[in-house]
Amino acid sequence: MKLRILPEGDAALLVQLEQEIRPDINARLAALVKLIRQQQIEGIVDLIPTYCALLVQYNPLVVSYDTLYQRISSIARMDIRTDEWHRTIWEIPVCYGGDFGPDLPAIAKHAGLSEQEVVRIHSGRDYLIYMLGFLPGFTYLGGLDERIHTPRLGTPRKRIPAGSVGIGGSQTGIYPMDSPGGWQLMGMTPVKTYDPERQNPILVEAGDYIRFVPISEEEFREIRAAVEAGAYRVTTRKGEK
């Protein structure tokens, strides 16, 4: 695997693959992360995989930069396979438009399409979760249809409610918690992608896919009630990679 290893200070190093946002590069990165985890290298404190780079944080009193550089270089020379996995697709119910998606008319107007058409396009494909970051559980999704790319708001909102689904430029995603933000909001999911009370507070993982499934306001209320009662499970499908 072609990569570059650089120090990021004295307690972290950055492993860079080709600096491009591409599913195959991201999959190779995920495979590398898996291998590094399997090796259980003493001194590694945390790993932050992103689109096409991996930040390895370590305790320099346990392992030096030079040693870790060697270890990771040799792991990278191993035969890394990415084709053997099956992907998980999370079906996230979304109620589009109305109060839940106040910017849907603006998104449709910008695209020169009807609101129904925008919803059909947005919910018509699986999005790869390239990485999580910014906020706990905030997903960086790839593959938004160019026809509905929409610039961010000129003035960000002070508070976007948790569960909001929006578009910011060429990206789309779900706000996991109340947060300020500049994305154009098109809908809301009753599902909690971040729930600090849950065993796994974060629902999804990098490398999984998300499919948005349109629901009515009534369904939204039903699912929300089930979520609050702890009786709702998000549907997942398995697909071939």
Q: How many residues at the interface with other proteins, by CB under 8 A?
A: 44
The two beta strands, 86-96 and 209-214, are parallel
Binding mask 14-43 for other proteins (x = CB under 8 A): x-x--xxx----------------------
Cα distance from N-terminal residue to C-terminal residue, the chain = 20
Nearer to other proteins, 46 or 218 (CB): 46
Binding segment for other proteins among 76-84, 150-158, 160-168, 198-206 (CB under 8 A)? 198-206
Binding segment for other proteins among 63-71, 75-83, 142-150, 155-163 (CB under 8 A)? 63-71
Site for other proteins in 129-168 (CB under 8 A): 131-138, 140
Count, residues in the chain? 241
CB of 168 to other proteins, least distance (A): 12
Site for other proteins in 103-132 (CB under 8 A): 131-132
SS3 content of the chain, % helix, strand, coil (to 5): 25, 35, 40
Q: Tell me: does residue 51 bind other proteins (CB under 8 A).
A: yes
Provide CB contacts within 8 A for 126, sequence distance 6+.
89, 143, 209, 210, 211, 239
Specify which residues 91 forms β-bridges with: 211, 235
Helix (H) or strand (E) holding 32, with range, is helix 23-39
The two beta strands, 171-174 and 164-168, are antiparallel
Looking at 2, 38, 66, 199, which residue binds other proteins (CB under 8 A)?
Answer: 66
What token pair was written down for 152?
């961010």
Looking at 23, 60, 102, 214, which residue binds other proteins (CB under 8 A)?
Answer: 60
Q: Which residue has the tokens 């910011």?
A: 168
CB of 25 to other proteins, least distance (A): 10
CB of 24 to other proteins, least distance (A): 15
CA distance 173 to 236: 18
Q: Tell me: does residue 70 bind other proteins (CB under 8 A).
A: no
Residues that bind other proteins (CB under 8 A): 6-12, 14, 16, 19-21, 45-55, 57, 60-61, 64-66, 131-138, 140, 176-177, 196, 201-202, 206
